[in-house]
């Protein structure tokens, strides 16, 4: 079991990674970032997926 937090609200993730919420939602829509929620509402996004996308965009 991981002791590191890996799920964040969109706002928490934006603040933690220095991103706009719209960038995170774009990655979610593109299927690049996993989410948790109910009835089509996003409650949390996966921080590991966001970190991977940041690494991918930095290496381009």
How do residues 45-54 score in pLDDT, each as one tens digit? 999 999 999 9
Domain count, the chain: 1
What are the pLDDT digits (tens) for 11-27?
A: 999 999 999 999 999 99
Q: What pLDDT is stored for residue 40 in this prediction? A: 85
Query: Predicted confidence band at 1 (pLDDT cuts at 50, 70, 90)?
Result: low
- Asked if residue 13 belongs to a domain, the reply is yes
- Asked if residue 1 belongs to a domain, the reply is no
- Asked if residue 41 belongs to a domain, the reply is yes
Q: What pLDDT is stored for residue 49 in this prediction? A: 97
Mean pLDDT of the chain: 92
Q: What pLDDT is stored for residue 16 in this prediction? A: 97
Cβ within 8 Å of residue 33, ≥6 positions away: 24, 27, 45, 46, 49, 50, 53
- Asked if residue 32 belongs to a domain, the reply is yes
- Residue 21 structural domain: 7-58
């Amino acid at each position: 079991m991981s002791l590191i937090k890996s799920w964040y609200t969109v706002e928490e993730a934006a603040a933690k990674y220095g991103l706009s919420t719209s960038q995170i939602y774009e990655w979610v829509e593109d299927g690049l970032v996993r989410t948790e929620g109910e009835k089509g509402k996003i409650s949390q996004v996966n921080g590991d997926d966001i970190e991977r996308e940041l690494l991918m965009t930095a290496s381009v």
